[in-house]
Amino acid sequence: MRGVHAQIPTFLINVHKVDNEKDARAYIARLNAIAKLFDQVIVNLRTCEGKGVVAPKFGFPLVLEACHKIIGGVPFDDSGTDNPLLADFKKKVGGLKELDQAARLKLTDAKRALGAKFDIRQFHDAVLTNGALPLDVLEDLVNRWIKSKQT
């Protein structure tokens, strides 16, 4: 399924070049901006729902499967395999010849940008398990999930 959940990683992995430190910083900035982007997506979804436009239930498992593919690996789990975005960033930065060791430590910044303070897979499971829900019900569900993680 197409959607922002797939477009961002596809763009970063297949299109975003890292030819120098400036490009590496731009990649990291895009990683850091993902949370804000998804906040905007949620606002748009609420607007659509208010107009009676809701995604069909059959799409949820497909989106969830695609999300799990991109949120697996380090720093999201202890599998020992890097997340696809982190692996891509490491490969691109590792291929740069003009960067010194200090600049290569930008990998830590990429890992930090990817590593959320919560387990994104658990969040997706909490949000998508019940299928299509009215946004006020979904908001309540998310708030309860957040509260359960804070205790």
Segments in the chain forming alpha helices (H): 4-14, 21-50, 59-70, 84-94, 101-104, 106-114, 120-128, 135-150
Answer yes or no: is pLDDT of 112 > 90: no
Model pTM?
0.63
- pLDDT (tens digit per residue) in 20-56: 878 888 888 888 888 888 888 888 888 988 999 988 8
- The pLDDT of residue 146 is 67
pLDDT band at 137 (very low <50, low <70, confident <90, very high): confident
- The pLDDT of residue 76 is 78
Distance from C-alpha of 108 to C-alpha of 120, rounded to nearest angstrom = 19
- The pLDDT of residue 14 is 92
Q: Is the distance from CB of 120 to CB of 71 less than 8 angstroms?
A: yes
Answer yes or no: is pLDDT of 127 > 70: no
- The pLDDT of residue 51 is 93
4 compared with 104, residue with greater pLDDT: 4
- The pLDDT of residue 101 is 56
Distance from C-alpha of 49 to C-alpha of 38, rounded to nearest angstrom = 16
- pLDDT (tens digit per residue) in 50-89: 999 988 888 888 888 888 887 788 877 788 888 888 889 8
